Structure 1
Amino acid sequence: MSSLLSKKEVIRHREFRFLGMAAETNNQAEFKGEGVIPSLWSDFYANHVLERIPNKINSSMIALYTNYESDETGAYTFALGTEVVEGHDVPSGLEEWVVPESKYVVFTTRRGPVQEVVVEAWQEIWEWSKYNERAFQFDFELYDLRSVDPMNGQVDIYISVK
């Protein structure tokens, strides 16, 4: 199978603050259609969460994966939000994390329907994970100007590595 992703070398990404709405889930529940990720995305848009987040750095959206119980088989926290500057009150219903400086491998999806290309990318990342050491600290998807059109978007997925 040829790769649908472009993969960059290991990079160091600076520390940043993230603010967003979060829920705990696991991949087994998500695969069975019993997970929280689709409803969190719906709520995020329906409740205009991005507009409610104070002190945004830019208009990019981030899907954050953290609080890993173990690896891709365990529970984790999934959050939707954005990068913010320090020094603000956290609005009700939102949570804040400081994502430390870390090493990442950045995967870039092909252009296409965002829901489709992100799922494809994760399938390839899980395959890649069998032969590479993930850190299971903070991973995130970056939705920037390239993903404004949900039918022809492109997303960068940052996977923390040891």
Structure 2
Amino acid sequence: MKQNKEKNLTEWKHESSEDKITLKQIEPTRIEELTSFTLAGISAITTNETERSKDGKIGKLFEQFHSQNIGKKLGVNIQEDGHYSCYFNYEQGDAGLYEIMVSVKVQETSQLQSLDTINTFTVPAAKYAVFVTEKGPIIEMVQRAWDDIWQWSQQPDNNRAFTGDFEYYSKDINPEDGQAEIYISIK
């Protein structure tokens, strides 16, 4: 068995006289401990199964967030600090319902109470496995990274906490050729 490390991918090669099998497993770029912070934005409740169908809600939520300039409505200039896609209120880990919120980071929530469609969530202080997507069309790269993260989380030593996971998109991200960071809360 040969092990190579390149771009945070570990590649195992098993070679026999009849076949050659290559398995890839993504690894976090880093482990990071963060203090709590508050996000404000628009949200929906969904499942991974729903997101794999034509009834997926996440894409529509992103579209609404950007087309309605939600960041600016919150009094926060989205270009200053990028935006977040946060996953929380998991009912059965990644197998059941969860809430998704497309959002911006806010300091104060009292001024948001008059906005009916705006939700807030305080991302708890936690330890995170941080994954950086490949560079490319951002939607495709994030989906590909999540497929790898689901496989990574099935490994015995990778214990997700499901307290609040999020994607961070920098202020200057290029949707056609960008990268995002995905933070997975771990035990």
For 1:161, the equivalent position in structure 2 comes to 186
Task: Report the equivalent of 1:81.
Answer: 103
Runs of at least 5 residues in structure 2 that lack an aligned partner in the other structure? 1-22
TM-score of the aligned structures, taking structure 2 as reference length: 0.80
**Larger deviation: 14-23 or 29-38?**
29-38
| Matched-pair contact (CA < 8 Å) for 1:136–1:161 | yes
Does the residue aligned with 2:91 lie in a helix, a strand or coil?
Answer: coil
User: Which whole-Å CA distance do the structure 1 matches of 2:160 and 2:46 have between them?
Assistant: 19
Number of residue pairs aligned between Structure 1 and Structure 2:
160
Of the two, which has the highest radius of gyration?
Answer: 2
The alignment's TM-score, normalised by the length of structure 1, stands at: 0.91
State how far apart, in whole Å, the 1-side matches of 2:179 and 2:72 are: 22
- Give 1:55 shift: 4.7
Q: Which moved more, 1:82-91 or 1:136-145?
A: 82-91
Answering whether residue 39 of structure 2 is matched by residue 18 of structure 1, we say yes
Q: 1:9 — aligned with what?
A: 30
Is 1:62 equivalent to 2:84 in the alignment?
yes
- Aligned amino acid, residue 96 of structure 1: T
TM superposition shift of 1:34: 1.4
Shift of residue 92 of structure 1? 2.4
What runs of 5+ residues in structure 1 fail to find an aligned partner? none
Aligned-pair Cα RMSD in Å: 1.7
Q: Matched residues, percent identical?
A: 32
**Structure 2 residue aligned with 1:139:** 165
Superposition deviation, residue 50 in structure 1: 1.5
Counterpart amino acid of residue 119 in structure 2: E
Stretches of 4+ aligned residues off by more than 4 angstroms: none
Query: Larger relative contact order (C-alpha < 8 A, sep ≥ 6)?
Result: 1
